[in-house]
Structure 1
């Protein structure tokens, strides 16, 4: 789960760290990166921008709402 994009100190490096962590976890199995926004500079936006990561990591924005939470649960159990 991730929140809004980092915007203060070192935002590019901090968001890249979240993306790197998600990519490493994705090598072990299913991963869903869920957060509140998918704006430019967010971890979700970054994953969606990389073709290789898009294929490995499900991304959900709007997780604060009921629909986002349901979609997150569905993404966790989606068959390969």
Structure 2
């Protein structure tokens, strides 16, 4: 809803702000994440990372071009 309002009003109406950067890492969150991932890994699940909506030239930054799977009839070139 907020995104639609910003689109209608115009993005230039809103002043950009810089968010504070924190460099600390919450170890508790990392421990939870590792336990959470282990729960699924021991049950045979695999983690995947999908960049399915990236333009072809951006995909090359993340994936070797020989590993990219393309669709014969994409909705758009992007």
Q: TM-score of the superposition, structure 2-length normalised?
A: 0.30
Q: TM-score of the superposition, structure 1-length normalised?
A: 0.30
**Which protein has the bigger strand share?**
1
**Higher RCO (C-alpha 8 Å, min separation 6):** 1
